[in-house]
Structure 1
Amino acid sequence: MLGRQLSRFLRQWAPFAMLALFSAAAAAAAAYPDRPIRLVVPYTPGGISDVLARALAERMRKDLGQPVIVDNKPGANTALGARLVASAEPDGYTVLFATGATAVLNPLLYPKLSYNPEKELQPVARIAVTPMVMLVGNSSPHRTLRDLVADAKANPGKLNYASTGTGSSLHLAVELLQSATGVSLVHVPYNGSAPAQAALMAGDIQFFADSTGSAMGLVRGGKLRPLAVTTRERLPALPEVPTVAESGYPDYEVTTWFGLMLPRNAPADVVSRLNASAGHAVADRSFRDQFEALGLVVPPALTAAEFNTYIGRERERWAPLIRAKHIVLE
């Protein structure tokens, strides 16, 4: 008899117990985030990366209802910040403000990298795309990219170009241009855009592919001459400057990107919540206007899965060039 009574009791109350468990789980999922989120930015304060991250953090704070605290962790070409996030708890409270260098270039360039983005980091949302602009000094005889290419072909090894370091996106952009045009230029690496820009203005170098965010002030101020931008279409911020494709090299397009990544195995609902919050930010007209005026492109939001596919295509694109040029960093 006791067994039958227990059985009836379980049949009566089991549905309510399951409902209670489901409700508790749903409430826990809906509670994210219930404390501040740490946004690790692997760059120094004050640059375009930091400014973009802080503007994003403020909009996400309003959307998520919790502080999004920027924590600058520069070093080792973004590897320091990436390692910190890769080793964090995958609970959504430590987020990486990643770039193409973090997720695409570093694994291709460094044989002994301190993190593995494919195994340890999870793409969440793309935020913005950074084009580049091909520059010469105002005293340069080159008025177009075709002029520069023609001179380089007539005088192999005579012209030199700056970069912000071997293996940087700015270096690889010109390596790709050389492959596309068949020219040979001499690489002169500098420790950042500012000294490279100064060398270009002084006539110490002949050519520099800089990020639009870094070069925009000098271009608009008439200090440097833009020959072409590296996007598929002209930039609203520089509408008079043709693209490299328009200049005669239709398959050429180079950009880098900013995005959010989490430690691998973060809960799907957390990924979805952060992706949606970032999507609200990039859909904000004032956010887009602020950064497109600086030469960035704020494209429509991607889902986390689409962003993952985008990163995979970027890896496939750069790997053959890096291998062919034997570019290896220690």
Structure 2
Amino acid sequence: MANTETSSSVRIPVGISSCLLGEPVRFNGSHKRSRFCTDTLSRYFEFTSVCPEMGIGMPVPRPPIRLVSQNANDPEVRALGTDNPDLDVTIPLRDYAHQQAARLDQLCGYIFMQKSPSCGLFGVKRYLANGHPEGATGGVFATELQRLLPLVPMEEAGRLNDDTLRENFMVRVFTLHDWRQFRSQPLTANGLINFHSRYKYLVMAHSVAQYKTIGRLLADLRSRALEDIADDYILALMTALAKPASRKSHTNTLQHLQGYLRHHLDSGDREELTELIGQYRQGIVPLIVPLTLLKHHLAHSQDVSVYARNQVYLNPHPYELGLRNAI
């Protein structure tokens, strides 16, 4: 069974920049409410709101900060006051990330506000000491938190407008949630193998290289302590899923799963499914089209492999989100 079952009473813990929930915590007293987060994702996620700048004691409104390096070749980035460069909140922001990492170590995802010198993950404008903009980097708090919580999927709200990035983020959040639930029970070798057996085709769709690496990792569960193997496994799994699946790799995965039906479909049904997979490969139809027919045949064909039916690839996140309608 796939890992998409949530309810209003059991939602997935996800961190989020406070301003994205509509909280007026930005330097000028405004917010950046994301309706996708508040109106859609809140049905599945239990959001933990964090504003690092307020967390370190900065008021609202407050002097704006920006990221500064002494020169273009300086790897050190400081969070300094835009108008008053003597204001340096770099260390407080990093320390706050350590506090939050300890408090939020069971998060299954994190959504940051883009372009923020504290919360931006990618492409935050970096300035030189002379005030000239030079390149881009990550925000101080977000970069440190990402280092401290390497398993946790992290994304910017603005990038969630991209269909592929949005679907990829959600795949990773639901996967880590599934893993956290699995690890809440005593770990056994059979349990670990059974967990991975459901994820094989999802991994294949994202990274064939990691698919092979994970296979080697699980080939001999007596070689090391099982806890250590499990830790390496989930890191490899999340690393694999961090690479968005391509149209080519989805096609390959669909064709592999279609192989389980070769003795269960008549020639007309086989040709129809093959044609739809081909149309998806060409970009004519979205993934949901061949996938829906594939799931239909897997569910209604007698004696088809339970292994194939139970692949998380078929349902990695709630169908109602419509995430595969546009990729």
Report the TM-score when normalising by structure 2. 0.25
Instruction: Compare the two structures and name the one with the higher strand fraction.
Output: 1
Tell which has more relative contact order, 1 or 2 (C-alpha 8 A, sep 6+): 1
